Structure 1
């Protein structure tokens, strides 16, 4: 294994047989010596062993983060110094771009194009927040009389950040970058199914010059390590991306110490195609909206509503192109659909599809687990289109988290809006129309944090990402995210020539 020395931190090749935790700026194994194995979803083969954190390790990580925050070294860095280190993190990531992409593909089974886009956005997140913190200042406010009010921004403290398995590196960047940009310290718990790139990102942060204890990464059980962090009285904030049921549990646990909580949760996002839409553009955008990242996206547009006047034309093209999507080697640039994360998720997806069939739905494409030549031991599911559905069906109401879309007709704008909003979720949404006035009306009427108009893309650095209703609260990826990691302190000063005597005594 090739290594080099840089800034007293041993830089290892990204691909290796074992990955340790990052606690207080050092690689370390579990206090129990326990490890777990992470597998390639496309092949079923073992990739590496990973140190499995215990509550003792979690305690060490929290105390390291607490000490790093309380000693003030990082939060007292001048903004331009923090900015330089943020840019160095991005620079190291760029220099190791292909390594990170390769590791992300192996650990998550996602396609090459998806991995490339997500690694690039992770890099751009650090660059974005390096610039954003320059203008993130307090304010001086006018107060009548001889008074002055200064509102200062201060980092909130120690942040526990719990990362999902579907976007391992990108979600880690979404959380680490704004937190450390404002001077917080973090304890990151990556998903056990996909821990590798988050661990490497933690190493890169140390390599770039982030002080010891500011970024800690501890893989382990969500029910054990995640809950320990959420309940810890020395953790000031929790940021979680994952399922709505777990988000509710985290919110309840965090309430015992009144922690700040940011939750980016599940979705069942609508995709509305109006009769005046550019049908070809809508077909292509709808394909991406549901089948990107193998449908394993919280904002996947999994409910497709098509106006009755163009339904037949749209569906003919949509079904034909769905059947042209390529499943196969995730590292092949011609592959559209990568692997499902594990066999358990394949079974969950199939249970939803079979339940729809039992309730009278029609499968127009896919509808079963797939076998891919050369990858027979991997986990795959065919891109699936379900029609003849209604809003009482389980497959229509619940998040499937796989390459499955349900399709319904609608007859007018009012009906489309009603159908779109008939859900407990409110994360993403999309609409296709050439009528600008309609686009504006419907965008305002849809109850979702993100509306994509004639566009299949939901997130860029600088654009708020988050949901309404049971899709959570708080916005990531934007300037406003910095406020989630800061406290506002109001300082009122008197500068009059005579002492104040309010009681007149």
Structure 2
């Protein structure tokens, strides 16, 4: 089936209109071709969206909806996404060069996220708290108001849903700023949300640069919360702005996640997990298991098997059903990854496999890069400390539990970790000792919308997903209601 691109108009406060900002060019990096070019959002577009969002969010038609009534919108959006998996996955692949298999999974995840938060909304209760006097106390939750959602380029529709669904469920208006490298799928999400009947003004999609659009959204006094997924340096800047405003902010930032392979593991299972953890999504994942620690007693044998398995991975076009490793999102990003590999060599690292662009029919024009394994570095090397965000794995030996826990935690990031061992008690000890928001045991990169996700340290703060994900977009309020009918004694009245 042949699909078409959106017309390039932006969704500004419920109205489709041409952007008046800088030009955005969406490229299909797998072929080195252009998808489409259009004008992004300007300062004036953002201000218009904010004004419309404020009016829509404060309208009793939305503000006074009962939870189960708001939930119906989320269910409609979920059903509409699920009905367009083929088109949406095609656009996501064109936008990011992800394989169609992964793109379909991300679209399905977005549909499930809207459905889940509809259910959470219907089953979430406010609380009548225990009274300490002749009065009744309640704890209730109100919308924050206007929420800025800033999402990354590596898995846009799933990230969009992860922020927009709970924020809308909580009764807010959402202003979504997608990354300039992957704006198309977010515009399609706006079309679906519009068709689901969401009141006009409650959702906007504002592609543009962080400087022109992102900063204005974060700094604007009407924005009551920011949810950001992206780089750590940008996250730190946004946190400073939020601190000045005394505004809540959620930050899901970078990672340099350790994967730990003990000598008593199932080696075949571990190798499959390590490969998936670092090389799926072409390594362009914040949770990628990019530091591999292997117990010294099996290090040589395990790494040799891993290298052999890595060489067997299928590099190819994202629309080829057999492809495991596709193109990177952009040629500029591939150059950045190549710079890190050169840095590893300068630091004394040895490339065991990869470290170059692949050659072959259909690959020369795209932003492809071979899955790369590097040995011979110390855990203090720059390549072991900084997020590369590409298909690059560093392997290091360790001696025992204490040794690997110390090395794993010796990093600014704290997003994820993988552990491979048949000893469940040991896995539990190590999982509890590792500083990370998510730990996988004998698996990797498995997700559930029911389970909170986020990081510590340079990997961010706050959690998304799970039942508490709804409350992250609400303000808690306590109400005291007198039952005595008597004046407060302090006033001595009457």
Offset of 1:49 from its aligned partner? Answer: 2.2
Offset of 1:134 from its aligned partner? Answer: 1.5
2:201 is matched with 213
Offset of 1:50 from its aligned partner? Answer: 2.9
1:428–1:458: 8 Å Cα contact kept in structure 2?
no
**CA separation in 1, counterparts of 2:412 and 2:145?**
33
**CA separation in 2, counterparts of 1:166 and 1:267?**
14
Offset of 1:96 from its aligned partner? Answer: 0.6
**CA separation in 1, counterparts of 2:307 and 2:362?**
26
In structure 1, list runs of 5 or more residues that go unmatched.
1-12
User: Is 2:230 the partner of 1:242?
Assistant: yes
Offset of 1:51 from its aligned partner? Answer: 3.0
1:394 is matched with 382
Partner SS for 1:19: coil
Name the CA shift for 1:197/1:215 in 2 (closer, same or farther; >3 Å).
same
The partner residue of 1:139 within 127, 130, 146 is 127
2:101–2:321: 8 Å Cα contact kept in structure 1?
yes
Match runs of 1:22-421 below 5 Å? 22-31=11-20, 35-421=23-409
Offset of 1:374 from its aligned partner? Answer: 1.6
**CA separation in 2, counterparts of 1:350 and 1:370?**
13
**CA separation in 2, counterparts of 1:383 and 1:277?**
24
**CA separation in 1, counterparts of 2:182 and 2:64?**
34
**CA separation in 1, counterparts of 2:27 and 2:360?**
17
Offset of 1:17 from its aligned partner? Answer: 5.8
2:5–2:91: 8 Å Cα contact kept in structure 1?
no
Offset of 1:14 from its aligned partner? Answer: 6.3
Partner SS for 2:366: coil
In structure 2, list runs of 5 or more residues that go unmatched.
none
1:486 is matched with 474
1:18–1:49: 8 Å Cα contact kept in structure 2?
no
Offset of 1:152 from its aligned partner? Answer: 0.7
The partner residue of 2:462 within 461, 466, 474 is 474
2:379–2:396: 8 Å Cα contact kept in structure 1?
no
Offset of 1:98 from its aligned partner? Answer: 0.5
**CA separation in 2, counterparts of 1:30 and 1:113?**
32
Q: CA RMSD in A?
A: 1.4
2:6–2:187: 8 Å Cα contact kept in structure 1?
no
Q: Deviations over 1:429-470 (max 9, x none)?
A: 110111111011101100000000011124221111100111
1:242–1:266: 8 Å Cα contact kept in structure 2?
yes
1:319–1:364: 8 Å Cα contact kept in structure 2?
yes
**CA separation in 2, counterparts of 1:277 and 1:267?**
24
**CA separation in 1, counterparts of 2:176 and 2:3?**
19
Q: Report how many aligned residue pairs link the two structures.
A: 492
**CA separation in 2, counterparts of 1:149 and 1:332?**
60
Offset of 1:497 from its aligned partner? Answer: 4.3
2:442 is matched with 454
Q: Deviations over 1:294-337 (max 9, x none)?
A: 10000100000001122122112211110011111101110001
1:6 is matched with none
2:13–2:50: 8 Å Cα contact kept in structure 1?
no
Offset of 1:471 from its aligned partner? Answer: 0.4
Partner SS for 1:179: helix
1:10 is matched with none
1:129–1:178: 8 Å Cα contact kept in structure 2?
yes
1:19 is matched with 8
Offset of 1:235 from its aligned partner? Answer: 0.5
**CA separation in 1, counterparts of 2:244 and 2:3?**
39
Partner SS for 2:297: coil
**CA separation in 2, counterparts of 1:395 and 1:189?**
31
**CA separation in 2, counterparts of 1:440 and 1:374?**
46
Q: Deviations over 1:334-386 (max 9, x none)?
A: 00011111121111111111111122111111012234422422101110000
Query: Which range moved further: 477-486 or 287-296?
Result: 477-486
**CA separation in 2, counterparts of 1:224 and 1:326?**
40
**CA separation in 2, counterparts of 1:253 and 1:97?**
38
**CA separation in 1, counterparts of 2:491 and 2:16?**
61
1:381–1:403: 8 Å Cα contact kept in structure 2?
yes
